[in-house]
Amino acid sequence: MAIIAQKCPHIKVTVVDLNQKRIAEWNDADVNNIPIYEPGLSAIVAEARGRNLFFSTDIERAIDAADMIFISVNTPTKTYGVGKGMAADLKYIELCARQIAKISTSDKIVVEKSTLPVRTASAIKNILENTGNGVKFQILSNPEFLAEGTAVADLLNPDRVLIGGDTSMEGQEAIKKLVAIYSNWVLKDRILTTNIWSSELSKLTANAFLAQRVSSINAMSELCEKTGADVNEVAKAIGMDSRIGSKFLKASVGFGGSCFKKDILNLVYIAKSYGLNEVADYWEQVIVMNDHQKSRFAKTIVKTLYNTVSGKKIAFLGWAFKKDTNDTRESPAIYVADDLLDEQAIITVYDPKVTQTQIHSDVNYLNSRSELENKNGLTILDNPYDVCQDSHAIVILTEWSEFTSYDWQKIYDQMQKPAFVFDGRNVLDKKVMEKIGFVYQAIGS
């Protein structure tokens, strides 16, 4: 919405939410205090906010005034009932649709922006068209393909913009209106239009394919470690094949973020609901492999540290699921920390953008131990050198660029000996680290 407001100063964009605290943060006088860290975002918000970009809790007024409404609410994995642990929970989508239907007094275009299971649009349309107040709605699907950490660049210069809608004349007119918005900065040949079901399924499919690549190279990383091959060399060799390409072939401790696991589980559930068990099993293995990689990494740490980490200080560098974001959802760091805390390790954490409150919340959410046990076993500091002081091992869990600029000789000198580094993101140079004196282990080598 910030990008649309920046690129379309003639369009009024209002972002609404029930959460008053969150809206207040978006309206903070210091634009650097906005709640999402994303390179370049604060400058864009500063340019458009108050001009044609507004943040409000007055949801009813915004709905009534709008010609086009983007539904961008959370669609988490269900934790209850039918489909528990796999299906997308659509209660927030339905609540949005019912509120739009209740308040609207004029015709509107409703755009699905949240990641949704295929054919959700029909449910939204059914709710909207049975209001009895004569208002007409058109439903469009416009899934987002940005990546956190590069979201601004991805939105300013997207690989494609996908818009799905009805094949009726009214549906095609609605598509044209959304195309016209994106055409203010996106080339026409990058704006794809499809039927609404293809658009909904394309988002799930894209995330599934990307996650599959990560799990595939991670599966090979384990084989590399057993055979003496180097996964980085393997990835480079196969990545030069034009049919494969090099993106998403970087071995690591595993993928995280809000989308990959959730969307694949949703895809698995959809396949099972249609009786496509082999399809479901195929995609579920992507999740199995990713969970295995995180567990395997934690076990490697314990095994290398003489089969015990009890009472040993383990320094974590990075907590966010990837660099250049403060998002920790499904971050591998959470699960590695959980495994090591179960082994009675003492963990200290440094991340340049993730707050202490968020880190404690992430660990407590797993409910493996009491909050007091977690607080006693995990400490967050704002200085990486203090985090590493007197540690037995350093574990790198986010590929923050600043890690490569540290004085690693200084860090080595203040650690317990032998000093171990477990590089879960293949950030550092193995030869340099071993020359200093570290026992250095990276994924897949």
Mean pLDDT of all residues belonging to the chain: 95
Task: Judge if 184 and 331 occupy the same domain.
Answer: no
Q: What is the mean pLDDT of the segment spanning 117-131? A: 80
One DSSP character per residue, 52-93 reads TEEEES-HHHHHHH-SEEEE----PBP-SSTTTTTSB--HHH
Task: With both helix axes pointing from N to C terminus, report the angle between 120-128 and 196-227 in degrees, rounded to the nearest 10.
Answer: 150
Q: Which residue's entry shows tokens 């797993």?
A: 366
Q: What is the pLDDT of residue 443?
A: 96
Q: Which domain holds residue 346?
A: 305-442
CB 396 within 8 A of CB 390: no
In a domain, 54, yes or no: yes
Residues 175, 28, single domain; the answer is yes
Nearest to 378 by CA among 352, 351, 405: 351
Active site residue 96: no
Confidence band for 131, pLDDT divided at 50, 70 and 90: low
Q: Verify that 184 and 327 share a domain, yes or no.
A: no
Residue where a domain terminates, one of 203, 223, 244: 203
Q: Are residues 188 and 39 in the same domain?
A: yes
Which tens digit of pLDDT belongs to each residue from 44-99?
999 999 999 999 999 999 999 999 999 999 888 889 998 899 988 888 889 999 99
Please indicate, yes or no, if residue 175 is contained in any of the structural domains.
Answer: yes
- Domain CATH number, residue 416: 3.40.50.720
Asked if 43 and 162 sit in the same domain, the reply is yes
Residue 413's identity, in one-letter code, is D
Q: What is the pLDDT of residue 132?
A: 62
Catalytic hit among 8, 96, 259, 388: 259
Examine the domain organization and report whether 194 and 317 are in the same domain.
no
Q: Which two tokens stand for residue 280?
A: 């479901």
In this prediction the pTM is: 0.91
Assigned domain for 252 exists: no
**Tokens 């006693």 sit on residue:** 376
| Mean pLDDT of the 401-414 span | 98
Q: Who's near 21: CB < 8 A, 6+ residues apart?
A: none
Decide if 219 is inside a domain: no
Is residue 258 a part of any domain in this protein?
Answer: no
Is residue 228 assigned to a domain? no
Q: Is residue 95 assigned to a domain?
A: yes
367 — pLDDT class (breaks 50, 70, 90):
confident
Same domain, 193 and 312: no
Could you tell me if residue 376 is inside a domain?
A: yes
Is pLDDT of 117 > 80?
no
Of the candidates 203, 230, 245, which is a domain's last residue? 203
For residue 303, give Cα distances in angstroms to 84, 295, 340.
Answer: 35, 12, 12
Number of folded domains that form the chain: 2
Residue 128: predicted pLDDT: 87
